[in-house]
Amino acid sequence: MLCTRVITDLEANFPHFPLAYYFFSSQSESRADPFIVVRSWISQIILKKERHGEAKHTCAFNLARERWENTDGRPASQAEIMELFAAIAQSTPNCVFIVDGLDECTGTRYSLEEFMASLKQAVSNSKSRLIIFSRNESDIRNGLRVEVSSNAWDLIEYCISPDDVKPDATLFSHSIVNRQLQNKDKSDREYLADRMADRFDSMFLCIKMLEEQLRGGKNVRQLQKVVEQAPTNLANLYDHSWARIMKLPDADRIRAMAIIRWATFALRPMTVREITGALLLADVECDDISERLPDAIDKEYIATEILGLCASLVETRGPNSDFGLLTVHLTHFSVRD
């Protein structure tokens, strides 16, 4: 969301700057190859004719066409792609290249450090800018700091702190408490919401994962105890969720583990309908599949037979017009870790 806001801001305030961006997804097949980012950037820049003028468009487009004509129809190699990217970055003034979630790239084919060194080589000594949104991973940091001979590179870094997001985290906490505890006094709701934001150091995910434990049937002292005893870091939070799954009855535990496996290892996010079918086919102890078919794939089915079993480790996304078409995801990339 931060990256999206930055892109929107740049497009509004610097409309003549050719801008290209790429968002990594934890469940995208392309995350094994960081150089897919550069291919996307090149494609976007050479198609900026309408917004950025004929001259800039023609320069980048002609550079790409010239190299394409020399490939005799074969896909461009990594070296050729990087050469073209460097040529565009050097010849097209004020290009802005943005990548979000670089830490979610597995880099199984090429290391992120190698990728960062290539980017640095291409963009240095140009008027182009590179913006990276990422967790503070060592290989990305090392790649940013690697020395490239005779090339100028100014690195500006901003580390997001809890104070940066506290106002938003507090609003988020209040929205959850007000929704879950409508039967409590306003002063009690405000205290619980503020305490949640403070205790979890403004971590949205920790606040979100406590939501299901905030039940209106508990008294205020019990709710305070829930907040005060909740794990304050993600590792312990996931341990708590995992322990809850392990205590489920055998059939529910097996189903929950299957859902988590599909959410983790599928090459693309699966729909609720697809996962429902996969769970039916995997149930080797059931001779008659029709015995396990849900009466309906609706809100109640998703809440009790998918989300409720997985202890906040998975979530569904998409419009609610057809519950079967909602896709199932891990709640956060750190769950995969």
pLDDT tens digits, one per residue of 75-117: 888 888 899 999 999 888 889 999 998 887 765 556 777 888 8
* Domain end residue (candidates: 92, 112, 145): 145
Which pLDDT tens digit goes with each residue over 156-193? Answer: 888 888 889 899 999 999 999 999 999 999 999 999 99
Domain count, the chain: 3
- Is there a contact between 275 and 262 (Cβ–Cβ < 8 Å)? yes
Residues 28, 120, single domain; the answer is yes
Q: What's the CA gap between 56 and 45, in Å, rounded?
A: 9
Are 192 and 295 in contact, with CB atoms under 8 Å apart? no
Query: Who contacts 39 (Cβ-Cβ below 8 Å, separation ≥6)?
Result: 81
> What are the residues whose beta carbons fall under 8 Å from the beta carbon of 214, sequence distance 6 or more?
176, 177, 180, 181, 192, 223, 226
Do 72 and 18 belong together in one domain? yes
81 within some domain? yes
Domain encompassing residue 207:
162-232
Same domain, yes or no: 177 and 256: no
List pLDDT tens digits, range 48-85.
754 445 555 568 888 888 888 887 778 888 888 899 99
pLDDT tens digits, 17-60 = 999 999 987 555 556 678 889 999 999 998 875 444 555 556 88
Residue 223 maps to a domain: yes
User: What are the φ and ψ backbone dihedral angles of 98, each rounded to 5 degrees?
Assistant: -125, 135
Note if the pTM is more than 0.75.
no
The answer as to whether 240 is a domain residue is no
Residue 245 CA to residue 267 CA, distance in Å, equals 24
